[in-house]
Each structure stands twice: as structure tokens, then as C-alpha cells.
Amino acid sequence: MYSVELRGVTKRYPGGGAEPVVALDDVGFAVEPGEFVAVVGPSGSGKSTLLNVLGLLDDPTAGQRLLDGTDVTDLSVAERTAARKRSIGFVFQDFHLLPTLTAVENVALPTAFDPGDASDRAADLLTRFGLGDRLDHEPSELSGGQKQRVAIARSLINEPAVLLADEPTGNLDTETGESILAEFERVKEEGVAVVAVTHDPLVKEYADRVVELTDGVLVGGVPAGDETPPETARGAEAAAAGDR
């Protein structure tokens, strides 16, 4: 079973009177547990839209979306929030750190309970990312690369099944970038499905598979030799079994 899967997903944005923008055009995409996929493509090709739809931050206009084999195409706001919290880590391109919280508080933020334990784990994660001496710094006191590492640490605090990252090495020097990618590799070996949108050739080196988006059309979205047509019974069965 795939950790995350899109079947025939189209995403259209209203064009304000003009033609609607087709940001994703009949996309089939699937990531196995423990697989690291890099998504490349020019600016405007739909990369962020793809991540947002995968991460339940945005809904497809058409098609099906599955998380761990369960259909999550349309969810209520409450269901969506719960599923995101349970299953998804998201690293935003512009970090989305809260300016009045310290590094350790930002990382612990997605945890709903046991704040004491959460700040210990947040401190451990930050230490692993080389920020053990920056735990109590606020974002304004951190460099771009340091903020990026805080954002990545925060994405891992709930031990997600799926890790989605928009240009995760965009602000990092090569050495720091490599340490982040090594961390992604470790996370992946624990069975997490990792998807990174990137222009960085280094990310492509670490990825198991590189897929390309052009004008919303994705090539190579499903693991080789594993192509399933959109209407297989598998997703319907899983959804019917209600195994969420």
C-alpha cells in the first residue's frame, strides 16, 4: 500500500473571467513507505500545488487522493486537521515559523499534549540538526539556513508517515544541505514517505526517484512496474474497510 497517492488529480484555479489555470492536469502520483521522491519542474509548473494537495492543505478539483490507502479526497475541516496532524509533516518554502516563539517552542508547536515531553523531543531534534545552542533563539535571531532547519525539525515532531518539503535545501550551503538530506534518508529508512520539491541537483542525488512536472503534467509519478489504472478496486476496498 502506498503512503500517499493521487489518482487522476486535476487542480484548476479560477482565472478571474479568463481561462481557468490548470495547475495539475490528470496527475497520477504514488509514494511507497520508505521512498524518497524528488519533484522537479520550472517555476509555475504546479510543484507547490502538488505538495499542497498531497498535504491536505488544498483539495483537488477532480480525482482521488489516498493516505495510507484510505480515501481522503474530501474531508471536513476537523477531519483534515486531524489527518494532517497524525500523518503529515510539511516544510514550507518560507518556513512559517512564529516570530514570537523560540526555536524549541516552534518545533514543539504541532504537539497537542504532554508539552514537557514535547520540548525534550524538540530539543533533541534541534540538536540533531546542529542547533543545540540555539534552542531559545527567536526566528529573527536565526539565519535563513537555521530557520530552515527549525522548520524541518518541526515537520518531524509528530513522527509523520509522509514528509513533504518545498525546496528544503534552498537556503542552505552544501554541507548543511547534505546533513539535511542525510536526515531525510534516515527518516526514510524508518518507513516515512518523503517528497521534496526542488531545483537542487544534490536532492536528486539522494532521491530514489525523480519525477518531472511541466505545465501541470507529471511524468513518472508512479513507481516503475507498478502502474495501476485510476479505477482499481484497491482504494475502494480500503475506503470501505474504513482502515484509517
**Shortest Cβ 91–Mg ion spacing (Å):** 13
- Amino acid, res. 73: T
Task: Pull the grid cell for residue 153.
Answer: 525539525
Residue with cell 518541526: 154
Tell me whether residue 44 or residue 132 sits nearer to ligand ADP (CB atom). 44
Strand partners of residue 79:
none
Strand partners of residue 30:
5
Question: Which element (helix H / strand E) includes 21?
Answer: strand 21-31
Interface residue with ligand ADP among 28, 41, 110, 168 (CB under 6 A) is 41
| Residue 198 found at the interface with ligand ADP (CB under 6 A) | no
Tell me whether residue 89 or residue 216 sits nearer to ligand ADP (CB atom). 216
| Residue 48 found at the interface with Mg ion (CB under 5 A) | yes
With the C-alpha atoms ordered 130, 134, 140, 142, is the resulting torsion angle positive or negative? negative
**Shortest Cβ 56–Mg ion spacing (Å):** 17
3-class SS of residue 180: helix
| Residue 23 found at the interface with ligand ADP (CB under 6 A) | yes
Identify which of 182, 235, 165, 218 has the alpha carbon closest to the alpha carbon of residue 45: 218
| Residue 21 found at the interface with ligand ADP (CB under 6 A) | yes
Residue 146 near which of Mg ion, ligand ADP, none (CB within 5-8 Å, type-dependent): none
Please give the residue ranges that form the binding site for Mg ion (CB under 5 A): 47-48
Please give the residue ranges that form the binding site for ligand ADP (CB under 6 A): 13, 21, 23, 41, 43-49
